[in-house]
Structure 1
Amino acid sequence: MGAGREQATQEQERRDALYRDPYPLYERARRTAGLTYVPEAGAWLVARDEDVREVLRRAEDFSSANALLPDVAVSEAALGVLARGFGPRQTVVSSDGAVHRRHRAPLNRALSTARSAALLPYARRCARELVGPVAAAGSAELVEAYARKLPGLVVGRLIGLDPADVPAAVHGGYRAEELLFRPLSPPEQVAAAEDVVALQELLDGYVRERRARPREDLCSDLAAAAAPPGAGLGVEQRHELVAHLQNLLIAGFLTTSALIATTLLHLLTDRRQWELLCSDPGLVPAAVEEGLRFDTAVQAFRRVTTRPVELAGTALPAGAALLVAYASANRDGRRHGDAGVFDIRRPGSRPHVAFGHGPHACPGSHLARGQLRVTLELFAEVLPGLRLDGARPAPRMRPTLIHRSPEALYVTW
């Protein structure tokens, strides 16, 4: 037992080290003929831009069924807790074909360019309310004080959550991520599972309430589409709606929080970039795209082959696991010149794949971009003297490929 635990610990340490800084692996994989197998992920790494785009275009050959495969095993005790809640169902992230299109249709409507733009005044108000106390303090840790809060408020507004329920929903979302992707002790897993079930019960309450009394929000749209008018929601429909909302909630705040924190980190690490942005706010849109490209929040998603295929000269059997690295594609020098340099004045920028590509391209890209744009405009206006706090240790990245971001971002001004 001791040897087994020690081996598991060592494997986790190797995985954490890789996930904290996967870019050297990406670079080697892009230079290597064919695909590179990554034992820590149990998958073939798809690293080059052209190969990433090919996989994402060919959903019929490269299924999303394993997109959210956990990195850790969940204990029997934690599974017992989860059984009291709402069981996992296919979502827009983990489905293909007609099922994927059915899940995606209401999201496309709710997250259209126009409806995303309509949310931005609310995002600006929230951002100013969050920045006020930060600016008055003279120093802050921005991940907790700002980056984790703004996206939760915005996605909560989109779904239709009462602002008073947003902190609990965000907490439950982070606990779901911890339960599936971080090593926890058995008691910690049980506690995390309890928080996940509490989130599911919260969302189910909204589903049932909005089905009876719809409003102008996404939860109402999803509940209305789940069953014919006048019919009640069955257990299976409620399970599916809760899974869908939970996925949307977590994706909505985890990745945008990571995008905000990581872009600020790179702007402040190269102080010239921050000063340039403050002197020319017209560079904000370019800074948003460079933040997305240079250090992509969703580093990679999993795919699984549906039949024997060949990719980049590597023969793959049916059922082969792939790790499709958006972040590696975005550092591919064959598509982006000086790809390893963060430069908000990048000339002739070409489209990146930070939000995916093909049928699974992220429908929330407009809203995520808008929140980062609001953040950069506001911080440049209110805190032009912003800088990393040199008295604190250098920021350390979270060991995850789902939402790459600094664990903490201490700043002063």
Structure 2
Amino acid sequence: MSIPQRRLPYCSFLLRLSVVALLGAVASAQAAEPLRIGVPVGLSGANSVIAPAVVQASQLAADEINAAGGILGRQVVLEIADDASSAVGAQKAYDTLVFQKKVDAVIAMETSAARNAALPIINRGKVPYIYSSFYEGRSCNRWMHVNGWVPEQQVAPIVDHFMKERGVKTFFLVGSDYAFGRGMLKFTREYIEKQGGKVVGEEYLPMDGTDWTPIVSKIRSAQPGALISSTAGGSPNVGLAKQIRAAGLSMPYGNLAIDEGTARTMGDTAAGMYMSASYLTSIDNAQNHKFLAALKAKFGDQAKTANDLSEPQYEGFYLYKAAVEQAGGMDAQKIVAALSQVSFDGPRGVVKMDRQRHAALTMRLGQVQQDGSIKILQTFENVDPGAQCPDLK
């Protein structure tokens, strides 16, 4: 039976109402759907000493953001995966996060080996990626931004102090045999030689190596004025420092990979060690006091020492939130573009990843005390990361 002509407008009106209601229901469902952020981290392997603090920083950031209404009204859900501190482990973790969990973004403190293995997966998945670890520099990818320091920001404070304040002329370099260790020490050697110093030895041990005895013997024979190391964070730091201490070597020791949390766990072993960091718990500003109090309130006696690897992880969540809000939605390309424009005023001060997807950072030269705390010897404001990714569009 045909519908009378006079009723067509009413039917059309009902149809339009149904479509609007359906679209509204879909929009509401999408708004209520959680925003998933992947956190691959070395729960096992070399970074397992550091990982708990990184996980806590991620959990704190997510809780704070959710309590304030989420990101564009969506609650943040963490998807934490063990990358085993390795390339193989990272491939498995990222495959799971990107293609199974379908995360909206990745915020990760990882070894350089893990990062390099993950980037092809990030490319295929087209996922915004904030790398929150200090590293050897010049890793460039259209989906990645970095809020950790690079050699141009971290090496000079230690080398300059040794040469100008301690009168050091010769150096011995020790590292883990992978991208970070070799990249950091390549830059360090070049900087030392540029300043008129001399490198009298350079040795490496595999990331999973534990016996530093042959290298310690070479250090003793070379009798350098100072030792500088760049190992995988966590357990390699501890092992090398213990064996240097046990050998009775007492020359000035600068560690390019130590974090405050690891230093505190080492007790007397780390005492006297020099480090250069963008974050230390002794930073005296309102944002840092609030951050430390929030960690204590959430985790109590289980709270891990905040450090130069966990604080940038916390900060990364707020930078991502700001980018999503500036982009006005979940378009990945717009979010990535916004990451170069937004900033966050946090425990380290204002951080903005606008220097070729890296950030100018205030660096602190510190020395580990007997109780594991870090005494700040000198502060360097807004140190530029230099040319990192000039060709990246």
Same topology, TM > 0.5: no
TM-score normalized with structure 1 length: 0.27
Higher helix share: 1
Q: Relative CO higher for 1 or 2, CA cutoff 8 Å, sep ≥ 6?
A: 1
TM-score normalized with structure 2 length: 0.28
The structure having more radius of gyration, on CA atoms, is: 2
